[in-house]
Amino acid sequence: MQQQLHALWRDFQKEKETKTMTTMTTITDLPLAKLVPGKRNVRKTATGSLDALIASIRAHGLIQNLTVRPVLNKKGSPTGRYEVIAGNRRLAALKALAEAGEIASNTALPCHVLDTGDDTEIGLAENTIREAMHPADQFEAFHAMAEAGTGIEDIAARFGVTALFVRQRLKLARVSPVLFEAYRQGEMTLDHLMAFTITQDHAEQEKVWNALPNWNRHPGTIRRALTMEAIPSDDRRVCLIGLETYEAAGGTVQRDLFDSAEGGYLTDPALLDRLVAERLETEAERLTTEGWAWTRVVPDLDHRAFDGLVRSYPAQMDLSEEDQAALDTAIEAYDTLAEQHDETPDEPEIAAEIDRLSDEIDRLTALQQVWTDQIKASHGCLIGIHWDGTLRIEAGWRERHETPAPANDGEPETDTGDEAPAPSRKLSPKLTAELIAHRTAALRAEVMQRPDIALVLTVHKLALQHFYRDGLTSSLDLRGASEDLTRHGDTLSDNPGTGAMAEAQGRWQLRLPSEASDLWDRLLGYADTDLMNLLAFLTATSLEPAFESSRSKRHADQLAETLDLDMTRYWRATPETFFGKVTKSTILDAVRESVSEAAAENLASLKKDALIDHATARMAETDWLPDALRRPADPDTALAA
């Protein structure tokens, strides 16, 4: 590209020579005080601080001449001053040095004095043809000075850069000369070269580079290949105990100069595992003192850990009037601030207050669920690590063959053998209700298409009411009044389930008589298939939203499992359904889980509007769902709170 620019400029100059207007220049020493900034300089965009340029001139003098032309008065006579056509940044740096008393105001400077010509063409030529110093050349220059005994701080001062910048360039000495030459020849980028500084083994560096196919030669891939036995600092085990704990215990971290203090790779897996085990065992001891019959530490807690186990549930307790009032106040404040947060997404004070209110809501809600001493005496807890490095405690499990302790409320235990759903991520109560309504719309549409399940639903509801003390554990309300789900959010009208139910409503209204007195005879004339289809529709419309704290939540989960409900057919994360209603951190968590950790890191610095656009695009082809829409039979895919 540089050669092409030079060639184009030479051709342009030859063409200019054929015209009557010519540009003549001479080199003249002019005093700094006689030079003024040009008003028609081609560089219109600010190029940042002058610090580096000032440092360079201070150390090396003015390397490149200024291009000037005489300033004429109204009569066309010279005024003795000269306007800078090319080199205004150099002029500003020189003026700054003069103001600081480091050079005299009458210092003579070599200038190209322009007689005539096009200022823009001259300025464009200078700024286009000039080529920045290649990083490889920077390294060699810095390296030569360092080898000669010049200190890093002195090198930085002479070139107008930071000491960290110099150290980073000098760190490239770790890279194999073969790879360094490949970089100079344009076969790899500076990011590739930096990735190799994680190790000083030149043979291993070359082996990795040659083994990787062209399409997979990413800096991250190179680092992973060179640190195969090491553990990245963002591993969930490291997040659990803290990197500082590992280092305080004598663990070493392999870092390149481009890693932050929190980055790098842990080189002692055995030490890390010991520290993690100690942390989990400490938690196990705490749970044992609370009265649980047993504890089991399973760092990689997945669905296999629950084989042969059955879960019981805590007793539901009413809050005191004081706690209930506090919960209502916190929920109202949370919803108000969540809306403000959407409008001012970059205000940390609002985000912090949302987090505080969320914690308060969780604390008060937890008071409604109490593990009785009877349950603890016959049940245990599994202890593991969430994907984000937080503790995961699954309480209330017993062996399938053991007799369960009676619950205080006398409610029969559901023997599913599956893990209960992970607690929902900290979303606003308003959004959580909207998501549950979306699931209810989907369940209604699915039940409407399954008359056999609708029949079971109806019988189940009636049997619970007749034979069991607690008949409110069904998510079915047989009063015949269908709750309007769209009141939970404006996105419900776009749910395919809502549309399907509305279409069915219209069809049945056309088939049924207009007078209620005629309905009995009409139904007597229906075939069994028609009656079952109508039963399915009416049963579906009677399904109610089952919220996390409601007694019907477990039954709604059973129904979803029976129907093999796939919520991705009914809901997708969009700016309207999700991203526009949650905080930036929640969006990044969703990207991190559905795409990758790297994708989330790349988007972390974006403003919220831009983040929403990018997250929507990146997650469009994924099947990601928030906790409230996930089936409890998939514990290993649940996003923990």
CATH code for the domain of 48: 3.90.1530.10
Q: Please give the Cα distance from 138 to 563 (Å, whole number).
A: 65
Higher per-residue pLDDT: 217 or 414 = 217
Residue 195 has pLDDT above 50, yes or no: yes
User: 221 and 286 share a domain?
Assistant: no
Q: Following CA atoms 434, 437, 442, 443 in sequence, which dihedral angle do they give, to the nearest 10 degrees?
A: 150
Residue 271 has pLDDT above 50, yes or no: yes
Alpha-carbon distance values, 551 to 326, 368, 434, 544 (Å): 22, 12, 19, 12
Check residue 488 and give its pLDDT.
85
User: 172 and 158 share a domain?
Assistant: yes
User: 142 and 34 share a domain?
Assistant: no
Residue 413 has pLDDT above 80, yes or no: no
User: 387 and 452 share a domain?
Assistant: no
Question: If you search the block for the tokens 């000669």, which residue do you land on?
Answer: 148
In a domain, 508, yes or no: yes
In a domain, 318, yes or no: yes
- Of 551, 581, 596, the position where a domain reaches its end is 551
Confidence of residue 406 (pLDDT cuts 50, 70, 90): low
User: 369 and 293 share a domain?
Assistant: yes
180: domain CATH number? 1.10.10
Confidence of residue 42 (pLDDT cuts 50, 70, 90): very low
Q: Domain tally for the chain?
A: 4
User: Percentage of the chain surpassing pLDDT 70?
Assistant: 80
Residue 466 has pLDDT above 90, yes or no: no
Check residue 416 and give its pLDDT.
38
**Pairing status of strand 253-254 against strand 66-72:** unpaired
In a domain, 587, yes or no: no
316-375 pLDDT per residue, tens: 788 888 998 998 898 888 878 876 665 444 567 777 788 788 888 878 887 888 888 989
User: Percentage of the chain surpassing pLDDT 90?
Assistant: 15
User: 94 and 22 share a domain?
Assistant: yes
- Of 77, 97, 129, the position where a domain reaches its end is 129
User: 438 and 545 share a domain?
Assistant: yes
User: 438 and 518 share a domain?
Assistant: yes
In a domain, 267, yes or no: no
Query: Furthest-apart CA pair in the chain: how many Å?
Result: 112
**Mean pLDDT value across the chain:** 79
Tokens of 75: 């009569």
Residue 249 has pLDDT above 90, yes or no: yes
User: 359 and 443 share a domain?
Assistant: no
User: 81 and 195 share a domain?
Assistant: no
User: 388 and 442 share a domain?
Assistant: no
Nearest to 38 by CA among 163, 132, 144, 123: 123
Residue 52 has pLDDT above 90, yes or no: no
Burial of 388 (0-12, 13-18, 19+ CB in 10 A): middle
486-544 pLDDT per residue, tens: 888 888 888 999 888 888 888 888 888 888 888 888 888 888 888 998 999 998 888 88
**Pairing status of strand 391-399 against strand 380-385:** antiparallel
Residue 250 has pLDDT above 80, yes or no: yes
Do 31 and 106 contact (CB within 8 A), yes or no?
A: yes
In a domain, 43, yes or no: yes
In a domain, 191, yes or no: yes
416-426 pLDDT per residue, tens: 333 333 334 46
In a domain, 352, yes or no: yes
In a domain, 622, yes or no: no
Tokens of 613: 């656009």
Tokens of 195: 């990735």
Q: Please give the Cα distance from 269 to 259 (Å, whole number).
A: 20
Alpha helices (runs of H) in 367-427, residue ranges in sequence order: 373-378
Q: For the ranges 522-526, 547-551, 613-617, which has the lowest average pLDDT?
A: 547-551
User: 151 and 120 share a domain?
Assistant: no
Higher per-residue pLDDT: 564 or 124 = 564
**C-alpha angle 67/132/192, rounded to 5°?**
170
Nearest to 271 by CA among 254, 252, 285, 289: 252
Tell which phi-psi region holds residue 195, choosing left (phi > 0), alpha (psi between -120 and 50) or beta.
Answer: alpha
Q: Which domain holds residue 343?
A: 275-399
Q: Please give the Cα distance from 231 to 266 (Å, whole number).
A: 5
- Of 178, 208, 231, the position where a domain reaches its end is 231
